[in-house]
Homo-oligomer: A and B are copies of this chain.
């Protein structure tokens, strides 16, 4: 696995953290918040795991690959939930999640 691949994955993870955190904050302000329950929950889980995986990669941890595999699963779950909702913040979050999932799969491979 190349240094560039890891650096790119760190950057996608960090973009995904920001998209998920913004989506979490915005979902809590939506009028129909009851529809956003699962989005809120997954935004948090995804942001936290992406942030953790980015730290592990930048620390050159032996467990970075396994964290990236798990991170890809959470990103896909979060992206699948987000893309069901029409809000801009959800659509942008879904996009960030799917890009991050691909970058994590490449590192985990």
Q: Could you tell me which A residues sit within 8 Å of B by CB distance?
A: 10, 14, 17-18, 21-22, 24-25, 28-29, 33-34, 37, 40-41, 44-45, 47-49, 51-52, 54-56, 58-63, 66-67, 70, 73-74, 77
Contact = CB atoms under 8 A, between A and B. Distances in A.
A48 B29 CA distance: 21
**Identical copies in the complex:** 4
Given A59-B21, A66-B70, A48 B52 contact: yes
Given A17-B58, A70-B63, A37 B29 contact: yes
A25 B63 contact: no
Contacts of A48: 52, 55
A74 B63 contact: yes
B40 A28 contact: yes
